[in-house]
Structure 1
Amino acid sequence: MSMRIGLGFDSHAFKEGVPLVIGGLKIDHPQGLAGHSDGDLLLHAITDALLGAVCAGDIGTFFPPTDPKWKGADSTVFLETALEEIALAGYKIVNLDCVLIMHRPKIVPIAAEMRERVADLLGLELNQVSIKGKTPEGLPQDGTAVAHVVVLLESLDNGESGRKLALHADRPTESDIEAAITSIAAQPRDISALGRKVPAFDTDDLT
């Protein structure tokens, strides 16, 4: 059995006039997080951790912030692509550990609900997902939220790996990809056709 570890990081500044979404969970707060997509720094960090664990690049490789098609995009689309990449590589998630660092909102009161949401998005049991909230004591980041994520993967057994890979045996054509992007724009939850690599772009974080 092969094991792999992935490390993810993301940060976003708080911004007036946008909704706050962390871990796929909409949170009642007077400020949201600035970003090219929906600013969900936790899902961005998880996505990067998963992609990094299988050496598939990072979130900017697949969804460059210079591409207007991802403006305001639901970050669950990014996460689904990362899940497809680890399945194609023949791995599955063992567990992940997440740390959110910010002054406000307080994470502890909503950590349980956030864990449930992340576990659901990843198809995991609740005891495979840890989310902790910390305050940036002594650090000048009052207007910024930071996320750190570590993920552990293990290789699939031969039978399970074969079934996963069979689902993706037919590589999509360029027209398939364009059709998928059009579909995503109309129905953000329809993400079954994503997961193909595109030429490398500037891999700066989504901001």
Structure 2
Amino acid sequence: MNIRIGYGWDSHAFKPGVPLKIGGLAIDHPEGLAGHSDGDVLLHAITDALLGAVSAGDIGSFFPPGDPRWKNADSSIFLNLALEEIQNAGYRIVNIDTTLVLAAPKIGPLAADLRERVADLLDVEPSNVGIKAKSPEGLNLDHVAQAHAVVLLEKVENPEELRSMSDVIESQKQLEDVVKDLVSQVHGVEPRRVLKPVFDTEDIT
């Protein structure tokens, strides 16, 4: 099959005293999203959509919420893992469409910046990223943020066209080694040589 579709969904409650991060973008707001990691509901949904498209499980399969290594972790780490998975399966992203459901903050004024940031993380053109928002009117969910994501992938016939998608997050080379070790474990291949991390795995931020 040359085309695959993936769907992802996630939700997090708002919590005072934590920073708000959506789509890899820091947003000025009185409350952030509660979660074991940084609570980035949009990146979590996109990650699950990518993993689901290539039948690679879900975000919890790779990053259990009880694992202290992922406490306060940047959700771009999870997204990077999903990009590695679709590359290993021989696919690339055609386009992605997302919908945020939340009462505040208003996403309209932020949509262009969110689109640029998500496109950068996925290494696609902004025109291939859809960012929409809806109010949870009548759902009694004013203190919750939800995200839906749908992704379309296409098979890459020439393997040379696939470059390592881990290059997208250039500032997290040590974390990429963690991601690739996880991939090797899942696929039952010999794991990479373990490097001593230069960061505290108990507090990845």
Q: Which category describes the TM-score, using the shorter chain as reference length? A: 0.7 to 0.9
CA contact 2:10–2:148 (8 Å) conserved in 1: yes
Q: Which residue of 1 aligns with 2:197?
A: none
CA deviation digits over 1:93-123, x for unaligned, max 9? 0000000000000001100000000000000
1:9 equivalent to 2:9? Answer yes
**Structure 1 residue runs without a partner (length 5+):** 169-186, 200-207
Q: Deviations over 1:5-45 (max 9, x none)?
A: 00000000000000000000000000000000000000000
Counterpart in 2 of 1:82? 82
Q: Is the 8 A contact 1:100 1:134 kept in 2?
A: yes
State TM-score, norm by structure 2.
0.82
Establish whether residue 131 from structure 1 lines up as the match of residue 131 from structure 2.
yes
1:66-88 alpha-carbon deviations (Å, 9 max, x no partner): 11110000000000000000000
How far 1:188 moved relative to its partner? 7.2
Residue 68 of structure 1 aligns with an amino acid whose one-letter code is P
In 2, the alpha carbon distance for the partners of 1:94 and 1:105 equals 29
**Residue type at the aligned position of 1:105:** P
Q: Given the alignment of the two structures, is residue 70 of structure 1 paired with residue 70 of structure 2, yes or no? A: yes
Letter in 1 for 2:15: K
Amino acid in the other structure paired with 2:172 = R
How far did residue 157 of structure 1 move?
A: 1.8
Q: Which amino acid aligns with 2:157?
A: D
Alignment: residue pair count: 178
Which of 172, 176, 186 pairs up with 1:189? 172
Asked if structure 2 preserves the Cα contact closer than 8 Å seen for 1:43 and 1:76, the reply is yes
Q: Which residue of structure 2 aligns with residue 19 of structure 1?
A: 19
The aligned counterpart of 1:117 is: 117
CA pair 188-61 structure 1, distance change in 2 beyond 3 A: farther
- Give the distance between the partners of 1:41 and 1:188, measured in 2 at CA: 22
**Unpaired stretches in structure 2, ≥5 consecutive residues:** 187-205
2:56 corresponds to: 56
- SS of 1:192 mapped into structure 2: helix
Shift of 1:137: 1.6
TM-score w.r.t. the length of structure 1 is 0.81
In structure 2, give the amino acid aligned to 1:17.
G
Runs (4 or more) in structure 1 with deviation over 3 Å come to none
Q: State the Cα RMSD in Å.
A: 1.8
